[in-house]
Structure 1
Amino acid sequence: MSDLTDNPMKERPFESMPGPKSFPFIGTLWNYLPLIGKYRMDRLHRNGALKLAEFGSVVREEIVPGTVIVWLFDPVDVEQLFRVEGRFPCRRSHLAIEKYRMDRPNIYKSGGLLPTNGPEWWRLRSAFQRDLSRVSSVRAYLPNTNTVLKEFIHHIEDDYMKSVKGDSTDRKPRDFLQSLSSLFLELTCLVAFDEKLGSLSISNSAGDSLPNQLIKAALDTNSCILSTDNGPQIWRYMETPLYKKLRKSQDIMERAAVKFVMSKKAKMAKKITSEQKSLLEIYLSSPDLDEKDVIGMAMDMLLAGVDTVYNLHILLLPTFYINEDWSTWLLSGNDECCPIITDEVLSQANYTKAVLKESLRLNPVSVGVGRILPCDTVFSGYSVPKGTVVVTQNQVSCRLEKYFKEPNKFLPERWIRGSDHHQKPTSPYLLLPFGHGPRTCIARRLAEQNIQALLLRVARDFKVIWMGKPDLDCVSLLINKPDQPLLFKFNRRAV
């Protein structure tokens, strides 16, 4: 015999890797068709669990003919992926946004951070990350964060409490999505652009107000990314309905981004500056960036700040109902719950950080991390050729018993040394909510800071009661979103 039983270490050919059956012209898209398909394009984590059970820890799939994707579930394989990614990690994402920008050379210099690869990506990344990579720099934005959070607390009182008469037990829950998106639009615009939009004002929460337009545009844009990336790319040659939706959304965001940049340039020319420089002012002052680069980054900040960061929260906040006592526990350590969030408060907020980490284990922003292989690589014994798109399945792996005890249970204490539920360190390649390596989320520190500050303020001021269905899940629209309204009751604490 000359098969693998003679040499278990022998590399197996890529073509022998298991996966869903692909057909000419349609690939595996037939598996995603409504009614007849066993997979759903908007439930990547469920698809992943089915593929893991049927095919094992490494799966080959050709959703669109000509583009093969390899799904990785084993953290050993995930580690190998990042070991070979190199100085300029490549990925295949946000392709329609790249087309949108490259069709407008008078406004943009490149496709921006999200779709760009190679040295051009590194030029942008190295310039934009300087003020966001240091904790001390990010902490400087806490005063702005506190200002917006104070407005948010009043917003909750006005919009969720005072409008309802009677005892607090009679208050009916409302969907919290709009409020959270308004909060993070306001935070993004104040920190990034030094602009106050009044997003939390009731008068700006509906209709054609700028905040409402920007929130809808960001949500619509991200809802188009997965399908334009992974479906037939007819949009490259003609304006399909999906690309038209993305283009119109980007047009709205572009007008706002250009306005913010021009306004800041005019203020800088007149030497009108704030005590704390906004990111926009820092970028416009950089000798390594020009105006077109900054407009692209302003678009990225609006897109990520409004949709990605607020989705972190809408997936995280239901932990209030998973473990209703956590906020009370938090309050018992008075150091963590203060009306003003300071550097010292955040440094001591160990339980809050554990809550965040555990929430992101259960409900991450996305299913995993994607890369284009820069060289031939071996995963679980299979030789995978250079140029293959590889996507990690961290969302699925983080709910496996082999890696986490009681994997579906919300236990922040598992991350706290000395607690009854603390477990030995798991692979660092299992939990990657912000990505990994050189392409880690550029605003990770700022996002974590904002999340922690929000949790501390809300826990201090309110007892939050989950009123939604207990089987909360997420849908995959590039970034995960809850599959039902976020229904909460807010009861004021006696502080």
Structure 2
Amino acid sequence: MIFEWVSYIAFYLLVAVFGAFLAYCLYVHHVHQKYDHLPGPPRDNFLLGHAPTFARTMKSDSLIHDLFLEWGEKYGPVYRLNTFHQVTIAVHCPEATKTIMMSPKYIKDPTVYKRLYNLFGKRFLGNGLITAADHDIWYRQRRIMDPAFSSTYLRSLMGTFNDMSERLMDHLEEIADTKTPAIMHDLVNCVTLDVICKVAFGVDLNFLKLTESPFQDAVELCLRGMVLDVRDPFFALMPKNWKTIQKIKDAAELLRKTGEKWIQERKTAIENGEDIPQDILSHILKTAEEEKVNSAKDHEQMLDNFVTFFIAGQETTANQLSFAIMELARYPEIYKRAKAEVDEVLGTKRDISYEDLGKLTYLSQVLKETLRLYPTAPGTNRWLHEDMVINGMKIPGGCSVLFSSYVSQRMEQYFKDPLKFDPERFDVNAPKPYYCYYPFALGPRSCLGQVFSQMEARVVLAKLLQRFEFNLVPGQSFDIKDSGTLRPKSGVICYIKHCS
């Protein structure tokens, strides 16, 4: 009797599973019919869609954004991508880019950005400024953050930008004397970490002097985890990967615990009436108090943004500087012109003023062109909740729209000879690109820290050009590594010499 009941249960369970699978297949078929009028690469598999191609690209160490660029050139400004039952519409049409990204009614795609809420189940970026899809939740946080990035406050940071950059110059002095190669990405990464720690949280760590830094390792592991967790749906299922996953979860925990410690120390200092630095954290806590934002949920969101600052505010600037150094070393004429401008504006003075930054126009063009070829945060998604016609094609609502700055900024139809590094594209008299250049995104969800980032980048790069000559060590790669953000695969290894 018992055996018969077990058999019946097993049979009905099998029927239920088969029925659910059949229903899911029918739903996937329905999604295909809904969007298959759009061009796009052939699917690898009925259910998996293009997921196997994405997985192969990652495993081969190729750049997935080059694949998107190839498909964009082949299939046009609107093409379809499938992953299981989900459809993503890749768009590099300037008019649609303007319409969707400049409007607050098209929210960030919740299905994409919720993947960054956790890293393998451990809270990571949570509901911070980057990941919050709900407009009201995002706007509430942005209102709290905005005073900390005001023009007046950013001008006051010039002293910190100068001091932290001087640490790098002192370190490069030692390297130049020893005539040993320098891995420039590692060095500028230390500077940008020092800057964000100091100006955001009043903490001075001096990463250039640390032989081992669990904090830097944690940022690196979390970046790697972002790519694996978001793009490879099968990574967590493989037992051989579980040790790596635990390290990534521990790294996310370290960042959040560090943030909690620093925030609590600052709150205690305020309660005790102690003198506190007027840094970004103080501005945020002050505004949060005025807005009566102090619940446990608000505290977790503050930690979300702590992690966001370190991932987005430090890593991306370091990557941009590394690519800029790489390109300046590859093109002597551009290097000479940038250095001549720095010498004319700065002479031999140590500290760069805010007014000096406005005079470094060609250096700014170099940094803008760097972000055109190497957008360190190469794409963003929006949720299309309504039907729309893009480039003459009807797109049914209920899908994700992918905007890749990497793709649009490397297309011949928008930029002549797009793979050529040419800062003249951003000369004041040059024609301005129309909604196809957006390294910091566009519209209300554009990057809050972009002015901060570019001030810092100009200070570091100007001091480097003022004091040193740098040449690339022969034989290294100029390829790009995708670590969630884009960085030079080689690390940009240079010989450093004192300026004669």
The TM-score range, normalised by the shorter chain, is: 0.7 to 0.9
> What TM-score do the two structures reach when normalised by structure 2?
0.83
CA 1:249–1:135: 2 relative to 1, 3 Å: same
2:402 corresponds to which residue?
391
2:47 to 22, 25, 28: 25
Superposition pairs of residues 29-428 of structure 1, within 5 angstroms? 29-34=51-56, 43-62=63-82, 64-86=83-105, 88-90=107-109, 92-99=111-118, 111-118=127-134, 119-132=136-149, 134-158=150-174, 160-162=175-177, 164=178, 171-201=179-209, 204-206=210-212, 212-232=213-233, 243-274=245-276, 277-286=278-287, 287=289, 288=291, 289-290=293-294, 291-333=299-341, 334-336=344-346, 338-417=349-428, 423-427=430-434
Quote the Cα distance in structure 2 between the aligned partners of 1:324 and 1:284: 47
CA 1:138–1:87: 2 relative to 1, 3 Å: farther
Quote the Cα distance in structure 2 between the aligned partners of 1:38 and 1:295: 30
Shift in Å at residue 270 of structure 1? 3.0
Quote the Cα distance in structure 1 between the aligned partners of 2:254 and 2:219: 9
Counterpart of 1:349, as a letter, is L
Q: Is the 8 A contact 1:462 1:491 kept in 2?
A: yes
2:460 corresponds to which residue?
454
- Structure 2 alignment gaps of length 5 or more: 1-32
Shift in Å at residue 241 of structure 1? 5.7
Quote the Cα distance in structure 1 between the aligned partners of 2:462 and 2:272: 39
Output one character per residue of 1:128-169: Cα deviation in whole Å (capped at 9) or x when no partner: 12321x3222111111111111111111122x223x2xxxxx
Coordinate RMSD, CA, aligned: 2.9
Quote the Cα distance in structure 2 between the aligned partners of 1:45 and 1:110: 25
Quote the Cα distance in structure 2 between the aligned partners of 1:402 and 1:482: 26
CA 1:304–1:477: 2 relative to 1, 3 Å: same
1:476 corresponds to which residue?
482
Quote the Cα distance in structure 2 between the aligned partners of 1:383 and 1:317: 44
Quote the Cα distance in structure 2 between the aligned partners of 1:342 and 1:284: 28
> What TM-score do the two structures reach when normalised by structure 1?
0.84
Q: Is the 8 A contact 1:80 1:379 kept in 2?
A: no
CA 1:393–1:415: 2 relative to 1, 3 Å: same
Q: Is the 8 A contact 2:100 2:106 kept in 1?
A: no
Shift in Å at residue 51 of structure 1? 0.8
Output one character per residue of 1:436-465: Cα deviation in whole Å (capped at 9) or x when no partner: 111111211111110011111111111121
CA 1:373–1:244: 2 relative to 1, 3 Å: farther
Quote the Cα distance in structure 2 between the aligned partners of 1:51 and 1:479: 21
Shift in Å at residue 18 of structure 1? 1.3
Q: Is the 8 A contact 1:14 1:383 kept in 2?
A: no
Secondary structure in 2 aligned to 1:317?
Answer: helix
CA 1:324–1:75: 2 relative to 1, 3 Å: same
Identity among equivalent pairs (%): 19
Quote the Cα distance in structure 2 between the aligned partners of 1:357 and 1:336: 21
Q: Is the 8 A contact 1:398 1:431 kept in 2?
A: yes
Q: Is the 8 A contact 1:95 1:228 kept in 2?
A: no
Q: Is the 8 A contact 2:125 2:131 kept in 1?
A: no
CA 1:110–1:304: 2 relative to 1, 3 Å: closer
Secondary structure in 2 aligned to 1:200?
Answer: helix
Quote the Cα distance in structure 1 between the aligned partners of 2:360 and 2:415: 24
Quote the Cα distance in structure 1 between the aligned partners of 2:99 and 2:200: 36
Counterpart of 2:176, as a letter, is M
**2:456 paired with 1:441:** no
Question: Bigger shift: 373-382 or 440-449?
Answer: 373-382
CA 1:19–1:283: 2 relative to 1, 3 Å: same
Q: Is the 8 A contact 1:100 1:247 kept in 2?
A: yes
Counterpart of 2:414, as a letter, is Y
Secondary structure in 1 aligned to 2:313?
Answer: helix
2:16 corresponds to which residue?
none
2:17 corresponds to which residue?
none
- Structure 1 alignment gaps of length 5 or more: 1-11, 165-170, 207-211
CA 1:249–1:480: 2 relative to 1, 3 Å: same
Q: Is the 8 A contact 2:194 2:204 kept in 1?
A: yes
Shift in Å at residue 187 of structure 1? 0.6
How many residues align? The count is 455
Quote the Cα distance in structure 2 between the aligned partners of 1:114 and 1:19: 29
Counterpart of 2:485, as a letter, is I
Shift in Å at residue 340 of structure 1? 0.8
Secondary structure in 2 aligned to 1:409?
Answer: coil
Question: Bigger shift: 406-415 or 25-34?
Answer: 25-34
Shift in Å at residue 89 of structure 1? 4.6
Counterpart of 1:76, as a letter, is E
Counterpart of 2:369, as a letter, is E
